[in-house]
Protein backbone atom coordinates (compact mmCIF):
# COMPACT_ATOMS: atom_id res chain seq x y z
CA UNK A 1 0.00 0.00 0.00
CA UNK A 2 1.31 3.40 -0.97
CA UNK A 3 0.77 6.53 1.07
CA UNK A 4 -1.24 8.16 -1.71
CA UNK A 5 -4.76 9.35 -0.79
CA UNK A 6 -7.34 6.63 -1.29
CA UNK A 7 -10.12 6.64 -3.85
CA UNK A 8 -13.23 4.47 -4.03
CA UNK A 9 -16.17 4.21 -6.36
CA UNK A 10 -19.31 2.18 -5.88
CA UNK A 11 -22.47 1.46 -7.82
CA UNK A 12 -25.76 0.78 -6.12
CA UNK A 13 -29.03 0.79 -8.10
CA UNK A 14 -27.68 2.18 -11.36
CA UNK A 15 -26.87 1.16 -14.91
CA UNK A 16 -23.08 1.43 -14.89
CA UNK A 17 -23.03 4.42 -17.23
CA UNK A 18 -21.40 6.55 -14.54
CA UNK A 19 -18.40 4.20 -14.44
CA UNK A 20 -18.11 4.44 -18.22
CA UNK A 21 -18.24 8.23 -17.94
CA UNK A 22 -15.36 8.14 -15.45
CA UNK A 23 -13.28 5.98 -17.78
CA UNK A 24 -14.30 8.29 -20.62
CA UNK A 25 -12.12 11.11 -19.25
CA UNK A 26 -9.33 9.55 -21.35
CA UNK A 27 -5.78 10.34 -20.24
CA UNK A 28 -7.06 12.13 -17.13
CA UNK A 29 -7.63 8.69 -15.68
CA UNK A 30 -3.82 8.54 -15.38
CA UNK A 31 -4.06 11.56 -13.06
CA UNK A 32 -6.43 9.56 -10.91
CA UNK A 33 -3.91 6.75 -10.80
CA UNK A 34 -0.97 9.11 -10.21
CA UNK A 35 -2.62 10.92 -7.33
CA UNK A 36 -4.84 8.28 -5.79
CA UNK A 37 -4.61 4.75 -4.57
CA UNK A 38 -7.78 3.05 -5.88
CA UNK A 39 -8.87 0.82 -3.01
CA UNK A 40 -12.42 -0.15 -3.95
CA UNK A 41 -14.11 -0.04 -7.32
CA UNK A 42 -16.15 -3.19 -8.02
CA UNK A 43 -16.46 -2.47 -11.75
CA UNK A 44 -12.76 -1.94 -12.34
CA UNK A 45 -11.01 -4.16 -9.81
CA UNK A 46 -11.48 -7.08 -7.48
CA UNK A 47 -12.23 -6.17 -3.89
CA UNK A 48 -14.26 -7.67 -1.10
CA UNK A 49 -16.63 -5.86 1.22
CA UNK A 50 -14.67 -7.23 4.17
CA UNK A 51 -11.55 -5.44 2.87
CA UNK A 52 -13.45 -2.16 3.09
CA UNK A 53 -14.79 -3.09 6.51
CA UNK A 54 -11.23 -3.69 7.69
CA UNK A 55 -10.15 -0.17 6.70
CA UNK A 56 -9.85 2.56 9.27
CA UNK A 57 -12.79 4.97 9.53
CA UNK A 58 -12.25 8.04 7.37
CA UNK A 59 -9.28 6.49 5.63
CA UNK A 60 -10.67 6.87 2.09
CA UNK A 61 -10.29 10.46 0.92
CA UNK A 62 -12.75 10.49 -1.97
CA UNK A 63 -15.67 8.18 -2.70
CA UNK A 64 -17.81 8.59 -5.79
CA UNK A 65 -21.08 6.84 -5.03
CA UNK A 66 -23.43 6.28 -7.93
CA UNK A 67 -26.80 4.61 -7.87
CA UNK A 68 -29.86 4.86 -5.66
CA UNK A 69 -30.61 2.79 -2.55
CA UNK A 70 -32.96 0.04 -3.67
CA UNK A 71 -32.05 -2.88 -1.37
CA UNK A 72 -30.37 -3.64 1.94
CA UNK A 73 -27.01 -4.33 0.31
CA UNK A 74 -27.03 -0.84 -1.25
CA UNK A 75 -27.84 0.68 2.12
CA UNK A 76 -25.19 -1.35 3.94
CA UNK A 77 -22.46 -0.25 1.52
CA UNK A 78 -23.68 3.35 1.54
CA UNK A 79 -23.38 3.44 5.34
CA UNK A 80 -20.07 1.58 5.24
CA UNK A 81 -18.54 3.94 2.69
CA UNK A 82 -19.88 6.93 4.58
CA UNK A 83 -18.01 5.75 7.64
CA UNK A 84 -14.80 5.03 5.76
CA UNK A 85 -14.75 8.17 3.58
CA UNK A 86 -13.78 11.74 4.26
CA UNK A 87 -15.56 13.02 1.16
CA UNK A 88 -18.64 11.19 -0.07
CA UNK A 89 -19.91 12.43 -3.42
CA UNK A 90 -23.39 11.55 -4.68
CA UNK A 91 -22.25 10.88 -8.21
CA UNK A 92 -24.71 10.92 -11.07
CA UNK A 93 -28.44 11.31 -11.23
CA UNK A 94 -29.35 8.02 -9.46
CA UNK A 95 -27.51 8.91 -6.26
CA UNK A 96 -28.70 12.52 -6.47
CA UNK A 97 -32.37 12.17 -7.29
CA UNK A 98 -33.25 8.57 -8.19
CA UNK A 99 -33.04 8.76 -11.98
CA UNK A 100 -34.62 6.00 -14.09
CA UNK A 101 -34.50 3.32 -11.32
CA UNK A 102 -36.48 5.82 -9.22
CA UNK A 103 -39.39 5.61 -11.68
CA UNK A 104 -40.05 2.16 -10.23
CA UNK A 105 -41.34 4.01 -7.16
CA UNK A 106 -44.56 4.36 -9.13
CA UNK A 107 -45.10 0.61 -8.80
CA UNK A 108 -45.31 -1.64 -5.74
CA UNK A 109 -42.48 -4.13 -5.23
CA UNK A 110 -44.74 -7.07 -6.05
CA UNK A 111 -45.52 -5.61 -9.45
CA UNK A 112 -41.82 -4.97 -10.14
CA UNK A 113 -40.90 -8.56 -9.27
CA UNK A 114 -43.75 -9.93 -11.38
CA UNK A 115 -42.68 -7.79 -14.33
CA UNK A 116 -39.12 -9.05 -14.04
CA UNK A 117 -39.88 -12.73 -13.49
CA UNK A 118 -43.27 -13.51 -14.92
CA UNK A 119 -44.43 -11.55 -17.92
CA UNK A 120 -45.22 -12.54 -21.48
CA UNK A 121 -41.58 -12.23 -22.45
CA UNK A 122 -40.28 -14.23 -19.47
CA UNK A 123 -40.83 -17.98 -19.58
CA UNK A 124 -41.45 -18.98 -15.96
CA UNK A 125 -43.86 -21.94 -15.98
CA UNK A 126 -42.91 -23.12 -12.48
CA UNK A 127 -43.46 -19.68 -10.97
CA UNK A 128 -39.95 -19.50 -9.61
CA UNK A 129 -39.30 -16.26 -7.76
CA UNK A 130 -36.16 -15.17 -5.94
CA UNK A 131 -36.09 -15.75 -2.20
CA UNK A 132 -34.06 -13.60 0.12
CA UNK A 133 -32.71 -16.61 2.01
CA UNK A 134 -32.19 -20.19 0.91
CA UNK A 135 -30.95 -23.30 2.70
CA UNK A 136 -28.15 -25.22 1.03
CA UNK A 137 -26.11 -28.15 2.38
CA UNK A 138 -23.27 -25.66 2.90
CA UNK A 139 -25.45 -23.32 4.95
CA UNK A 140 -28.04 -20.59 4.50
CA UNK A 141 -27.37 -18.12 1.70
CA UNK A 142 -28.86 -14.66 1.33
CA UNK A 143 -29.59 -12.29 -1.49
CA UNK A 144 -30.38 -8.61 -0.91
CA UNK A 145 -33.93 -7.65 0.08
CA UNK A 146 -35.73 -5.16 -2.15
CA UNK A 147 -37.01 -2.05 -0.39
CA UNK A 148 -40.53 -0.77 -1.11
CA UNK A 149 -39.08 2.27 -2.82
CA UNK A 150 -35.82 3.62 -4.09
CA UNK A 151 -34.17 6.27 -1.94
CA UNK A 152 -31.57 8.77 -3.00
CA UNK A 153 -28.18 8.61 -1.29
CA UNK A 154 -28.80 11.64 0.90
CA UNK A 155 -32.07 10.15 2.15
CA UNK A 156 -29.92 7.42 3.72
CA UNK A 157 -26.56 8.94 4.67
CA UNK A 158 -24.93 12.34 4.98
CA UNK A 159 -23.53 13.49 1.62
CA UNK A 160 -20.67 15.97 1.20
CA UNK A 161 -21.04 16.92 -2.46
CA UNK A 162 -23.51 16.38 -5.25
CA UNK A 163 -22.49 15.78 -8.81
CA UNK A 164 -25.51 15.57 -11.15
CA UNK A 165 -25.90 14.16 -14.63
CA UNK A 166 -26.95 10.96 -16.31
CA UNK A 167 -24.08 10.37 -16.56
CA UNK A 168 -22.00 13.37 -15.47
CA UNK A 169 -20.26 14.82 -18.52
CA UNK A 170 -16.67 13.66 -18.86
CA UNK A 171 -15.27 17.19 -19.04
CA UNK A 172 -17.01 17.95 -15.74
CA UNK A 173 -15.57 14.82 -14.12
CA UNK A 174 -12.12 15.81 -15.37
CA UNK A 175 -12.59 19.31 -13.93
CA UNK A 176 -13.61 17.88 -10.55
CA UNK A 177 -10.60 15.54 -10.49
CA UNK A 178 -8.38 18.50 -11.38
CA UNK A 179 -9.88 20.43 -8.49
CA UNK A 180 -9.33 17.61 -5.98
CA UNK A 181 -5.73 17.20 -7.18
CA UNK A 182 -5.17 20.93 -6.74
CA UNK A 183 -6.66 20.78 -3.27
CA UNK A 184 -4.25 17.96 -2.44
CA UNK A 185 -1.37 20.14 -3.63
CA UNK A 186 -2.65 23.06 -1.56
CA UNK A 187 -3.40 25.19 -4.62
CA UNK A 188 -7.19 25.34 -4.24
CA UNK A 189 -9.87 25.04 -1.62
CA UNK A 190 -12.81 22.68 -1.47
CA UNK A 191 -16.26 24.18 -2.04
CA UNK A 192 -18.55 24.37 1.02
CA UNK A 193 -20.12 21.10 2.13
CA UNK A 194 -23.36 20.27 0.36
CA UNK A 195 -22.35 22.10 -2.82
CA UNK A 196 -23.22 20.87 -6.29
CA UNK A 197 -19.94 20.28 -8.09
CA UNK A 198 -19.21 19.64 -11.74
CA UNK A 199 -22.20 21.63 -12.97
CA UNK A 200 -23.41 25.18 -13.45
CA UNK A 201 -25.82 27.21 -11.36
CA UNK A 202 -28.18 28.32 -14.10
CA UNK A 203 -30.36 26.43 -16.60
CA UNK A 204 -29.71 24.54 -19.80
CA UNK A 205 -31.37 27.42 -21.72
CA UNK A 206 -28.42 29.60 -20.69
CA UNK A 207 -26.05 27.31 -22.56
CA UNK A 208 -28.39 26.58 -25.45
CA UNK A 209 -27.47 28.29 -28.71
CA UNK A 210 -30.95 28.22 -30.22
CA UNK A 211 -32.70 31.57 -30.70
CA UNK A 212 -35.56 32.44 -28.39
CA UNK A 213 -38.61 34.67 -28.61
CA UNK A 214 -41.80 35.02 -26.61
CA UNK A 215 -43.28 31.54 -26.38
CA UNK A 216 -46.88 30.95 -27.37
CA UNK A 217 -47.70 27.26 -27.55
CA UNK A 218 -50.92 26.04 -29.11
CA UNK A 219 -49.99 22.35 -29.21
CA UNK A 220 -47.33 20.02 -27.87
CA UNK A 221 -45.67 17.70 -30.37
CA UNK A 222 -43.34 14.74 -30.39
CA UNK A 223 -39.83 15.35 -31.65
CA UNK A 224 -40.34 13.15 -34.69
CA UNK A 225 -42.86 13.25 -37.51
CA UNK A 226 -42.61 16.90 -38.44
CA UNK A 227 -39.89 19.30 -39.55
CA UNK A 228 -37.98 20.90 -36.68
CA UNK A 229 -36.28 24.26 -37.14
CA UNK A 230 -32.62 23.59 -36.25
CA UNK A 231 -31.94 27.08 -34.90
CA UNK A 232 -35.17 27.93 -33.08
CA UNK A 233 -35.93 27.15 -29.41
CA UNK A 234 -37.52 23.69 -29.22
CA UNK A 235 -40.12 24.68 -26.63
CA UNK A 236 -41.23 27.51 -28.92
CA UNK A 237 -41.87 24.85 -31.58
CA UNK A 238 -44.08 22.91 -29.18
CA UNK A 239 -41.50 20.25 -28.28
CA UNK A 240 -41.69 19.71 -24.50
CA UNK A 241 -38.06 20.58 -23.72
CA UNK A 242 -37.12 20.47 -20.03
CA UNK A 243 -34.18 22.85 -20.38
CA UNK A 244 -36.04 25.68 -18.64
CA UNK A 245 -35.78 24.01 -15.23
CA UNK A 246 -32.69 21.84 -15.68
CA UNK A 247 -29.26 22.68 -14.30
CA UNK A 248 -26.65 23.60 -16.87
CA UNK A 249 -23.21 22.05 -17.15
CA UNK A 250 -23.68 19.76 -20.14
CA UNK A 251 -23.18 22.48 -22.80
CA UNK A 252 -26.81 21.93 -23.84
CA UNK A 253 -25.79 18.71 -25.50
CA UNK A 254 -29.26 17.41 -26.41
CA UNK A 255 -30.77 20.66 -27.79
CA UNK A 256 -27.58 21.20 -29.82
CA UNK A 257 -28.02 17.76 -31.34
CA UNK A 258 -31.65 18.41 -32.17
CA UNK A 259 -33.25 16.54 -29.28
CA UNK A 260 -35.18 18.06 -26.39
CA UNK A 261 -33.61 18.30 -22.94
CA UNK A 262 -35.02 15.55 -20.76
CA UNK A 263 -33.61 16.91 -17.54
CA UNK A 264 -30.78 14.57 -16.54
CA UNK A 265 -28.80 17.28 -14.76
CA UNK A 266 -31.62 17.72 -12.27
CA UNK A 267 -33.15 20.87 -10.84
CA UNK A 268 -31.44 24.21 -11.37
CA UNK A 269 -30.01 26.08 -8.39
CA UNK A 270 -32.68 27.01 -5.86
CA UNK A 271 -35.39 24.77 -7.30
CA UNK A 272 -37.12 22.73 -4.58
CA UNK A 273 -39.23 20.51 -6.79
CA UNK A 274 -38.12 20.03 -10.37
CA UNK A 275 -41.47 18.88 -11.74
CA UNK A 276 -43.32 21.73 -10.06
CA UNK A 277 -41.00 24.22 -11.67
CA UNK A 278 -41.60 22.65 -15.07
CA UNK A 279 -45.36 22.73 -14.51
CA UNK A 280 -45.03 26.45 -13.77
CA UNK A 281 -43.02 27.01 -16.93
CA UNK A 282 -45.08 24.92 -19.31
CA UNK A 283 -48.37 26.30 -18.02
CA UNK A 284 -47.12 29.85 -18.49
CA UNK A 285 -46.37 29.50 -22.18
CA UNK A 286 -49.58 27.77 -23.27
CA UNK A 287 -51.53 30.20 -25.44
CA UNK A 288 -55.10 29.62 -24.35
CA UNK A 289 -57.46 30.82 -21.66
CA UNK A 290 -60.22 28.34 -22.39
CA UNK A 291 -60.33 25.33 -20.02
CA UNK A 292 -61.38 22.88 -22.76
CA UNK A 293 -58.71 24.06 -25.15
CA UNK A 294 -56.10 23.94 -22.36
CA UNK A 295 -57.11 20.34 -21.77
CA UNK A 296 -56.70 19.54 -25.46
CA UNK A 297 -53.25 21.19 -25.54
CA UNK A 298 -52.18 19.29 -22.43
CA UNK A 299 -53.22 16.02 -24.07
CA UNK A 300 -50.03 16.60 -26.06
CA UNK A 301 -48.12 15.62 -22.91
CA UNK A 302 -49.54 12.10 -22.50
CA UNK A 303 -47.42 11.21 -19.45
CA UNK A 304 -46.90 14.33 -17.33
CA UNK A 305 -45.29 12.38 -14.48
CA UNK A 306 -42.73 10.88 -16.84
CA UNK A 307 -42.20 14.22 -18.53
CA UNK A 308 -41.64 16.19 -15.33
CA UNK A 309 -40.07 13.56 -13.07
CA UNK A 310 -38.15 11.28 -15.41
CA UNK A 311 -34.93 11.71 -13.44
CA UNK A 312 -36.27 13.27 -10.31
CA UNK A 313 -39.05 11.10 -8.93
CA UNK A 314 -37.29 9.65 -5.87
CA UNK A 315 -35.83 13.05 -5.01
CA UNK A 316 -39.03 15.02 -5.55
CA UNK A 317 -41.33 16.35 -2.83
CA UNK A 318 -43.97 13.72 -3.55
CA UNK A 319 -41.32 10.95 -3.73
CA UNK A 320 -44.00 8.77 -5.27
CA UNK A 321 -45.90 5.99 -3.67
CA UNK A 322 -44.76 6.53 -0.10
CA UNK A 323 -48.07 5.93 1.59
CA UNK A 324 -49.29 3.29 -0.81
CA UNK A 325 -46.26 1.00 -0.65
CA UNK A 326 -45.58 1.51 3.04
CA UNK A 327 -48.40 -0.82 3.94
CA UNK A 328 -47.53 -3.36 1.30
CA UNK A 329 -46.34 -6.82 2.29
CA UNK A 330 -45.31 -8.99 -0.62
Partner 1 sequence: MNNEQFEPTIIGFTCNWCSYRAADLAGTARMKYPPNIRLIRLMCSGRLDPTFVFKALTNGADGVMITGCHPGECHYLEQNYKALRRFHLIRRTLQGLGVEPNRVKLVWASAAEGAKFTNEVKSFVEEIRALGPLNWGGAGGNGHRVETQIPEEVPA
Q: If binding is defined by CB under 8 A, does position 234 make contact with partner 1?
A: no
Q: Which of 256, 267, 250, 262 is nearest to 233 (CA)?
A: 256
Considering beta carbons, is residue 179 or 324 the nearer one to partner 1?
324
Segment (H or E) for 65:
strand 60-66
- Total number of residues shown for the chain: 330
CA distance 238 to 218: 8
Q: If binding is defined by CB under 8 A, does position 128 make contact with partner 1?
A: no
Q: Please report which residue ranges of the chain form alpha helices under DSSP H.
A: 17-23, 28-35, 49-54, 72-84, 93-97, 99-102, 109-117, 170-184, 204-207, 253-256, 274-285, 291-298, 304-309, 322-326
CA distance 12 to 69: 6
Return all residues near 68 (Cβ < 8 A) that are at least 6 apart. 12, 13, 14, 74, 94, 95, 98, 99, 101, 102, 150, 151, 152, 153, 314
Residue 67 · residue 152 · CB < 8 Å: no
Site string for partner 1, 91-110 (x = CB under 8 A): ---------------x--x-
Considering beta carbons, is residue 265 or 274 the nearer one to partner 1?
274
273-312: which residues touch partner 1 (CB under 8 A)? 273, 275-277, 279-280, 282-284, 286, 288-289, 291, 294-295, 298, 301, 303-306, 308-309
Considering beta carbons, is residue 23 or 330 the nearer one to partner 1?
330
In angstroms, what is the minimal distance from the CB of 242 to partner 1? Answer: 14
Site string for partner 1, 150-189 (x = CB under 8 A): -x---x----------------------------------
Q: If binding is defined by CB under 8 A, does position 116 make contact with partner 1?
A: no
Q: If binding is defined by CB under 8 A, does position 121 make contact with partner 1?
A: no
In angstroms, what is the minimal distance from the CB of 271 to partner 1? Answer: 8
Residues that bind partner 1 (CB under 8 A): 72, 106, 109, 113, 132, 145-148, 151, 155, 272-273, 275-277, 279-280, 282-284, 286, 288-289, 291, 294-295, 298, 301, 303-306, 308-309, 316-326, 328-330
Amino acid sequence: MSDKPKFAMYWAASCGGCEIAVLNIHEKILDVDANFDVVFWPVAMDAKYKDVEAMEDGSILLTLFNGGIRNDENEHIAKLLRRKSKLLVAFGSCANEGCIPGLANLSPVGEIVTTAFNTVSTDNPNQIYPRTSFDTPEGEIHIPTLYPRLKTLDQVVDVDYYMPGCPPESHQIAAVIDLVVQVLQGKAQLPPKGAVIGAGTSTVCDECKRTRHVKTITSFKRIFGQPIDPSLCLLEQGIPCNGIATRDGCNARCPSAGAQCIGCYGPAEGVVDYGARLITGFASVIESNDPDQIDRILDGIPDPTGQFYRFNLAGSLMKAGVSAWKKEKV
